[in-house]
Structure 1
Amino acid sequence: MIKEKENIEKDKAAKTKKQDPIIVIKDLHKTFGKDNKVLQGVNLTVNKGEDLVILGRSGSGKSVTIKCIVGLIEPDQGEIKVFDENVLNLTKPELNEIRVRIGFLFQSGALYDSMSVRENLAFTLKKHKRDLSAEEVESEVMEALDNVGLSDAIDKMPSELSGGMQKRIGLARTLILKPEIILYDEPTTGLDTITSREISELILDIKHKRKTTSIIITHDMACAKLTADRIMVLKDGVIHAEGTYEELEKDEDEWVRSFFQ
């Protein structure tokens, strides 16, 4: 009986931990120009350790939402809490402290063309951790590259890398600061089916190894199916539907189901 009670308490604790919100967005609005209302009251919560996929047609505000989270775009209205901090009220130094804990993988990988892979990663690391020795920087660079399976590309230039390799290096550069949250903006765009799956599996592997929390913006339904703990669908500037891949695939709403066909 005592053991059974202990198991119940453990289950409760596990559920509580699972529902521990790390990102909370309330009533987020953003309009560009006079009447291009992209976000019209987005509400979402991402729990610690969760991979949330956001789907939506082009221009629906998916990328705008995650750029608001890190302060790359300033919303017109709403609240964004990350690590229990309202990022919209933070000073620039305070926002930079939050940003170091959040990795952002851009669609292009955003590598510096004039720098080698080693220099790209080292530059990012030294910018935020100035007290590291040359040996420590080298060790961190090698570890990050090892995590994405590209240690042998350390001295290559971005122009020498395939699209898939550039994505992996971009991810390594994101991982080098050991972020707690990673925001993926179309991580498999422009890649062939096999490479797309490799990137999706890498996202899943990073989650399990690093215990990260992620938001993944994607049009790639294979990526969504493989990585998502939960999916939200944006339509007309608001969250239109929410559920697991399997739940939304069978949703009564024909528009929602259209993503899964």
Structure 2
Amino acid sequence: MENVIMQHQNNDAEKSDVPVIVIKDLHKAFGKNKVLKGVNLTVKKGENLVILGKSGSGKSITIKCIVGLIEVDEGEINVFGTDITKVDTDELNKTRVRIGFLFQNAALYDSMSVRDNLGFTLKRHEKDLSNDEVEQQIGEILESVGLAEAIDKMPSELSGGMRKRIGLARTLILKPEIILYDEPTTGLDTITSREISELVVEIQKKYKTTSIIITHDMACAKFTSNRLMILRDGIIYAEGTYDELEKTDDKWVRSFFL
């Protein structure tokens, strides 16, 4: 039964035709290394878009540009209808609050318990909450990622999969409308990777999130995606559903599915 679950493709999201992220002609170079050479993509509300590509193709650079962690050289990045490449810091921060970013290593504060990691994040953005309200929200979000019992643990006491879940809980506690996942299953065993992939889809359905997922894990890509894009030579080389790209005549694209 587990193998059948892994073969599932995520086609059940409540998507709409409303674009939430629109990137036009995005360019980014580091010195003489031109990483992005005109990336164009659109992500619709409620959609999970998976971006594939060989190492160094610019996948992570693309999503870091979306939250302004990396300054673009050229192009537009429209998020919720605002071009974030043209706004000041205050406007950028207003947009960032609506976006969750799950880093590869979960980026937890090692000196804080799970409770304090989540509470610190929440209190920074919701200063008027009482202690009881903070505790309630922490408990609810830990329940949603299946780790209510880990509330008093330190990050060093957590497995890799648990750290990913807590990192996701810390992202979710701010109720983001967009979540950017950077290699959510990297370094995890097959079973734990499947559990994280299932959680990504559960979150999409429960919280109506729109997501971009960067991954090398094709099982994760198949399970979580509504649509895939493949980066090559700094541009979007191919686009379609998992099934469409798996059956393409293009040998380079098919190499991802072997």
TM range (shorter): over 0.9
SS in 1 for 2:201: helix
Q: CA deviation at 1:238?
A: 0.1
Residues 146-200 of structure 1 deviation map (CA, whole Å, 9 limit, x = unaligned) = 1100000000000000000000000000000000000000000000000000000
Name the SS for the 2:211 alignment partner. Answer: strand
67-76 or 88-97, which deviates more: 88-97
- Mapped to 2, the partners of 1:254 and 1:19 lie a distance apart of 31
The amino acid that maps onto 2:18 is: D
Aligned to 1:256: 253
d(CA) in 1 for partners of 2:33, 2:143: 43
**Alpha-carbon displacement from aligned partner over 1:29-88 (angstroms, at most 9, x marks no partner):** 00002x111000000000000000000000000000000000000010000000001111
Letter of the 1:64 counterpart: I
User: For 1:213-252, what aligned pairs fall within 5 Å after superposition?
Assistant: 213-252=210-249
Matches within 5 A, 1:203-214: 203-214=200-211
Q: Tell me what 1:21 maps to.
A: 19
Q: 1:106 aligns with which of 97, 103, 107?
A: 103
Does residue 30 (structure 1) correspond to residue 11 (structure 2)? The answer is: no
Per the alignment, residue 124 of structure 2 pairs with 127
Aligned-pair CA distance for 1:93: 1.2
Q: Equivalent of 1:148, from 145, 160, 170?
A: 145
SS at match of 1:18: coil
Match of 2:38 among 16, 38, 41: 41
Report the 3-state secondary structure (helix = DSSP H, G, I; strand = E; otherwise coil) of the residue aligned with 1:132: coil
Larger relative helix fraction: 1
Greater RCO (CA < 8 Å, at least 6 residues apart): 2
- Say which SS state the counterpart of residue 128 (structure 2) adopts: coil
Residue 94 of structure 1: CA displacement?
Answer: 1.0
Cα-Cα RMSD: 0.6
After the TM superposition, which parts of structure 1 deviate over 3 Å for at least 4 consecutive aligned residues?
Answer: none
Cα distance, 1:234 vs. partner? 0.1
Task: Look up the match of 1:3.
Answer: none
Query: Does the residue aligned with 2:104 lie in a helix, a strand or coil?
Result: coil
Partner SS state of residue 44, structure 1: strand
Could you state the TM-score of these two structures normalised by the residue count of structure 2? 0.94
Following TM superposition, by how much is the alpha carbon of 1:252 offset from its aligned partner in structure 2, in angstroms?
1.1
Q: Which amino acid aligns with 1:255?
A: W
> Could you tell me which residue of structure 2 aligns to residue 188 of structure 1?
185
Structure 2 regions of 5+ residues with no counterpart?
1-14
- The structure with the larger Rg is 1
